[in-house]
């Protein structure tokens, strides 16, 4: 005989979870330029963790900050977490400064580590590491781990740990998370129970723009349900330009 879990024993969840991708970074700009010119390496002097927002990215973050500050008190974030990487932390700071909040950095929200592939385009990877490029093609994007780096499943494990902490520390509250593309897609993987095929389809077919919002709310059953994905309506209503890289990009 099966026993249905009682409502009281169901896991707690935050009331709302909003995942914010950082504004356009200098890394995004360098990646697009390298691909346009057919180069193997990005022209970028900073470490990935230190790469800041571009001027356009700062404008995007400012538009988002104005949009969030115009919300009613019951719709504004109560808790803000951020990747410690400069581009996400800067985006979070622009928004939280308007709200009188401070973002708490969490290294589990950092972008996927590309290891020896950091700073390389697909062409650069194939030229410098042909055997690894072939292994990646054979194993697939989801499970492949570059030397010294992380697979998507490694990022998903980080996200699972974050969600456990959110449930125990911030149940019933509105939480905003400023992070990166692969991390946001990993939240979708975990929260929606997606499989490899569906996740990669979404990553390929539904671009996740800079400074976009992906929103979950607690449903009647107590679970977090997707409300919107990659929402950039705040940018569309402003002079700020929307940006996103191609699905083939490894940049976050």
Rg, C-alpha atoms of the chain: 19
| Residue-wise burial string across 128-156, b where 16 or more C-beta atoms lie within 10 A, e elsewhere | ebeebbeebeeeebbebbbeebbbbeebb
Report all structural domains of the chain as residue ranges with CATH numbers, in order of start: 12-25+52-115+140-236 (3.40.50.1240)
CB 211 within 8 A of CB 62: no
Per-residue pLDDT tens digits for 16-34? 999 999 999 999 999 999 9
Q: In whole angstroms, how far apart are CA 173 and each of 22, 69, 109, 169, 230?
A: 22, 18, 19, 9, 22
> Using CA atoms, how far apart are residues 208 and 96, in angstroms rounded to an integer?
22
DSSP code of residue 117: G
| Arithmetic mean of pLDDT, 6-14 | 57
Task: Please say whether the beta carbons of 163 and 11 come within 8 A.
Answer: no
Taking each continuous run of H as one helix and of E as one strand, the counts in the chain are 9, 6
**What's the whole-number average pLDDT of the chain?**
93
What is the mean pLDDT of the segment spanning 54-77?
97
Collapsing DSSP states into helix, strand and coil, what is residue 213? Answer: strand
Judge whether residue 9 has pLDDT over 70.
Answer: no
Q: What are phi and psi of 216, to 5 degrees?
A: -120, 145
Can you name the residues that pair with 41 across neighbouring β-strands? Answer: 120
Segment 118-174, tens digit of pLDDT: 999 999 999 999 999 999 999 999 999 999 999 999 999 999 999 999 999 999 999
Work out the average pLDDT over 93-118: 97
Report DSSP state, residue 240: P
Three-class SS state of 238: coil
Percent share of the chain, pLDDT over 90 = 89
Phi/psi at 81 (nearest 5 deg)?
Answer: -115, 155
Q: Is the pLDDT at 6 greater than 60, yes or no?
A: no
């Amino acid at each position: 005989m099966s026993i249905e879990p009682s409502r009281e024993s169901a896991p707690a969840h935050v009331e709302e979870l909003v995942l914010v991708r950082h504004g356009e970074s200098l890394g995004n700009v360098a990646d697009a330029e390298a691909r346009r010119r057919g180069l193997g390496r990005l022209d970028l002097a900073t470490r990935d963790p230190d790469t800041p927002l571009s001027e356009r990215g700062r404008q995007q973050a400012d538009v988002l900050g104005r949009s969030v500050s115009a919300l009613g008190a019951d719709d504004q974030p109560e808790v803000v977490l951020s990747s410690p990487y400069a581009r996400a932390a800067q985006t979070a700071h622009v928004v939280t400064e308007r709200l009188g909040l401070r973002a708490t950095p969490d290294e589990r929200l950092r972008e996927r580590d590309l290891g020896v592939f950091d700073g390389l385009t697909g062409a650069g990877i194939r030229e410098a590491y042909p055997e690894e490029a072939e292994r990646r093609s054979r194993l697939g994007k989801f499970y492949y781990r570059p030397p010294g780096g992380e697979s998507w499943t490694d990022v998903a494990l980080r996200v699972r740990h974050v969600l456990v902490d959110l449930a125990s520390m911030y149940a019933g509250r509105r939480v905003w998370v400023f992070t990166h593309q692969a991390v946001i897609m990993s939240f979708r993987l975990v929260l929606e129970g997606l499989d490899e095929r569906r996740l990669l389809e979404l990553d390929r077919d539904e671009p996740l723009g800079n400074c976009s919002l992906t929103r979950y709310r607690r449903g009647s059953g107590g679970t977090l349900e997707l409300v919107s994905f990659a929402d950039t309506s705040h940018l569309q209503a402003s002079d700020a330009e929307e940006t996103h890289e191609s699905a083939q990009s490894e940049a976050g």
